Structure 1
Amino acid sequence: MKLRPIAALATAALIAFTGCASSPDSGGADPSGTTAVTGGPTGDTTYNVTTSADLAKPAAELISGGTLNIVTSAGTPPYGYIVEGTDELRGADMDIANAIAAKLGLKASFTSMEFSGILPAMQANRFDFSIAAMGDTPEREKVVDFVDYSTDSNSIVTTKGNPKSIDGMPSLCGLKISSVQGSVPLGLLQAQNKKCTDKMDIAIFPDNATSLLQVQNGRADATMYQTGVASYLIKTDAAAANLEVVENTEYGKGYNAMAFNKNSSDLRDMVQKALTELKDDGVYDAIHAAWGLDLNKIEVITVNDGLKYNQPS
């Protein structure tokens, strides 16, 4: 597996594009049987998904054309990224969404955009739902609904060797920090900045890739990133070899969640049921195992449960 370099990811994140990732072997979900959904880090892992006898008919009635239009944000491996040299979206989020589509007897089509544009797009009802490792927070629940599908936390990322001797949030005071518009890490940083005598200089960007690039190129001293994403990127992308995770504390644990328009409760509940069946079938576990995300799994697929962790946003 080869990721598109960070610099290219930052550029690509500014351009919305569409890519389909429904099962290439079967041409999409079988409304009456089993679909072999392919995915995984090298694109050759197969998840056998049995179409739900209870959900397929109402899903077909609800989704015209038989295709779920899903929005994501590339540049957050292992959740979602662009394979270098292609326009193929790959990641755990794509695998989960494709499995949900197959469970419902549908296909999935993906569009990638800047993270900061996803909530407005969902409020405008441009897509059926989003899957972009987005945190379910009480503030966001005011404008969209969520199906919670995993957890993650956030860590401080700096250049290798930790030249600023960062050892926690208070040590970020007085430093140049990059972050992403509308993100949970930005909320954490802004809350800490209120406590700083020597304020952070926080530069805000539209996507994770651009924010991380500031640290990589020395324009920022540090950023905050989802722990799983940062660790995966540093291990797998040569362009991130000069970065490291400050491994003392993880911050702001919360749900990764799919966002739905407030008027899409029927689809929201259908997706929750489909994901619950995938958990019972073992497909949910298999996807997380394939991407090294076993610690991110949750026991119960919930709706609008953001208050459990009460992340800022």
Structure 2
Amino acid sequence: MYKTLLAAGICILSMTSLASAQEKKEIVIASEGAYPPFNFMDSNNKLQGFDIDIANALCEKMQVKCTIVAQDWDGIIPALLAKKYDAIVASMTITEERKKQIDFTDRYYRTPLSVAVPKDSPIKDTTAASMKGKSVGAQSSTTQAIYAEETYGKAGASAKLYPTQDEANADLANGRLDASVADKFVLVEWLKNAGKDCCKLLGDIEGTTSEAGIAIRKEDKELKEKFNKAIKDIVADGTYKKIQAKYFEFDIY
């Protein structure tokens, strides 16, 4: 009886270990799907973009199966903490405030904040003084939202926040905003396409270059190490450059 129980115990332990090993071979990643060219939904309602290609390349390097799901921006960190997925690859800026809740990998790209305005705008530059009395849009719960509220807002601008960057861009195009603040590469992409007839890039905001990283839970240290190694690997073997070339004509790493 003892041997039977012992054998059964070993069997259960082995099965548990095997299941655990298999679980580590699968990772669920969240992205927003509303931040082109980094992440967006295509005509088939499938996630596409730079973030998605990077996520898939990292999963290939880590030799794990990855499922990428869409998640609204405002709920993206709470859902990570609730363990609905394992990581966020959604152009999330690494900030000290966010580090109070979650952890980040090394950067996988960097970008300054920039400002877009209508082509006939009288606004001369991106300084706070130039935004006095102007309406400035930004996506909520982002570094650009903080800048719009705390820097431009304190200088006398009216900051208006939106659930997505697309909505802020639409209001700028329709004359309901005087300016829109976002990551430079997002505005450049929009101005090449939907915004090309209405608007222009006013310029970068000095001193705002930030880094985007993959967000994970603080306790997932092993996963962080794997992601960091994979980031280094895709940069070293040229995979990163190939992905970058699909979306940008310049280096963003």
TM range, smaller chain: 0.7 to 0.9
Q: TM-score, normalised by structure 1?
A: 0.69
- How far does residue 270 in structure 1 lie from its aligned partner after superposition? 0.9
Residues 261 and 78 (structure 1), Cα distance of their counterparts in 2 relative to 1, 3 Å cut: same
Q: TM-score, normalised by structure 2?
A: 0.84
Structure-to-structure mapping, 1:1-313, within 5 angstroms = 64=23, 66-83=25-42, 85-147=43-105, 148-161=107-120, 163-170=121-128, 171-193=130-152, 195-196=154-155, 199-235=156-192, 237-238=193-194, 241-247=197-203, 249-292=205-248, 294-297=250-253
Residues 184 and 62 (structure 1), Cα distance of their counterparts in 2 relative to 1, 3 Å cut: farther
Larger Rg: 2
Aligned residues of 1:155 and 1:251 also touching (Cα < 8 A): no
CA–CA separation in structure 2 for the residues paired with 1:144 and 1:112: 19
Secondary structure, aligned partner of 2:181: strand
Residues 266 and 159 (structure 1), Cα distance of their counterparts in 2 relative to 1, 3 Å cut: same
CA–CA separation in structure 2 for the residues paired with 1:108 and 1:120: 20
CA–CA separation in structure 2 for the residues paired with 1:259 and 1:293: 26
Residues 256 and 90 (structure 1), Cα distance of their counterparts in 2 relative to 1, 3 Å cut: same
Deviation per CA, 1:164-209: give whole Å up to 9, x if none.
324123211211121222111112122324642xx22212222211
CA–CA separation in structure 2 for the residues paired with 1:293 and 1:124: 38
Q: How many aligned residue pairs are there?
A: 233
CA–CA separation in structure 2 for the residues paired with 1:239 and 1:193: 23
User: Greater helix share, 1 or 2?
Assistant: 2
Residues 63 and 152 (structure 1), Cα distance of their counterparts in 2 relative to 1, 3 Å cut: farther
Percent same amino acid at aligned positions? Answer: 24
Secondary structure, aligned partner of 2:116: strand
Secondary structure, aligned partner of 2:231: helix
CA–CA separation in structure 1 for the residues paired with 2:47 and 2:248: 18
The residue type equivalent to 2:57 in the other structure is: A
- How far does residue 239 in structure 1 lie from its aligned partner after superposition? 5.3
Secondary structure, aligned partner of 1:167: coil
Deviation per CA, 1:190-234: give whole Å up to 9, x if none.
2324642xx222122222112222212222111101101110121
CA–CA separation in structure 1 for the residues paired with 2:23 and 2:202: 47
Aligned residues of 2:116 and 2:203 also touching (Cα < 8 A): no
Secondary structure, aligned partner of 1:238: coil
Aligned residues of 1:179 and 1:205 also touching (Cα < 8 A): yes
Structure 1 unaligned segments of length 5 or more: list them. 1-59, 298-313
Aligned residues of 1:216 and 1:240 also touching (Cα < 8 A): no
CA–CA separation in structure 2 for the residues paired with 1:243 and 1:181: 21
Residues 65 and 270 (structure 1), Cα distance of their counterparts in 2 relative to 1, 3 Å cut: closer
Residues 99 and 215 (structure 1), Cα distance of their counterparts in 2 relative to 1, 3 Å cut: same
- How far does residue 97 in structure 1 lie from its aligned partner after superposition? 0.4
The residue type equivalent to 1:117 in the other structure is: G
Aligned to 1:12: none
Aligned residues of 1:92 and 1:291 also touching (Cα < 8 A): yes
